[in-house]
Amino acid sequence: MSATETQTRPAVLILLGPPGAGKGTQARMLEQEHGLVQLSTGDLLRAAVKAGTEAGKAAKAVMDAGGLVSDEIVLAILRDRMAQPDTAKGVILDGFPRTPGQAEALEALLAGQGASVSAAISLEVEDAAMVERIAGRYTCANCGAGYHDRFKTPAVAGVCDECGSTEFTRRADDNAETVRARLDAYHAQTAPLIGHYEGKGVLRRVDAMGDIAEIAAALRAIVTDASAR
């Protein structure tokens, strides 16, 4: 590949891992550092639910129960988002793909743009810790910065570090019962993608049980390496 082609090829990074593994937190940090766009199908679906679109209405009950929304709906939302010009430099896919069918559809979509998956990063965590992690998390209602009751509190209580807002929200599906269903869905439908990307030679594993900053450093090294390819 020529140097020119290397520069123009978008980096496509996939963050794999169960709910609570830290995909959103890490994607946000990588986005700020590398000029890539975080693309979270969960965020896009929540926005569709809030806007009351047909897709949002169809997705709501499934999301409330912790199941997976149909590939048809998710792929339509993803294609629309990937067509936006801000994704040209590259994307960090957070929560997508989640099924083998979605992985195949992504590969077809990228092939049409002369691109491919740069790296699939598996955030490796223990299920037992995930319920506690999820039950304590919340986000700034204004800028979306993520916090946690125990692991990541704002410097000034009740004030967002990033934008100064004092409004915060918790996700409706972040309750213990729904989290268990989401973990089940992850193991049944998404975990097989780890083997899929290993077979393609793009899988990178990261121990995601530790400190947020240490995990970020490990990811930074992977992303710098993958972006340079």
**Residues designated catalytic:** 23, 98, 137, 171, 182
Please select the residue that binds ligand AMP; options are 62, 135, 194, 209, rule is CB under 6 A: 62
Size of the site for ligand AMP (CB under 6 A): 18
Which C-beta is closer to ligand AMP: that of 69 or that of 227?
69
Q: Scanning residues 127 to 166, which ones bind ligand AMP (CB under 6 A)?
A: none
Task: Residue 99: name the closest of 54, 67, 56 by CA.
Answer: 67
Work out the angle at residue 89's Cα, subtended by the Cα atoms of residues 85 and 94, and round it to the nearest 5 degrees. 90
Q: Is 20 in the site for ligand AMP (CB under 6 A)?
A: no
Structure token pair of residue 167: 């409004």
Looking at residue 171, the DSSP 8-state letter turns out to be: -
Q: Is 119 in the site for ligand AMP (CB under 6 A)?
A: no
Structure token pair of residue 127: 């299920």
Whether the upstream peptide bond of residue 18 has omega within 30° of 0, thus cis, is no
Q: Provide the residue count of the chain.
A: 229
Scanning the structure block, which residue is given the tokens 């947020």? 212
Q: Closest distance between ligand AMP and the C-beta of residue 224, in Å?
A: 25
Q: Scanning residues 88 to 107, which ones bind ligand AMP (CB under 6 A)?
A: 95-96, 98, 102
Q: Which residues bind ligand AMP (CB under 6 A)?
A: 19, 40-42, 45, 62-63, 66-69, 74, 95-96, 98, 102, 173, 182
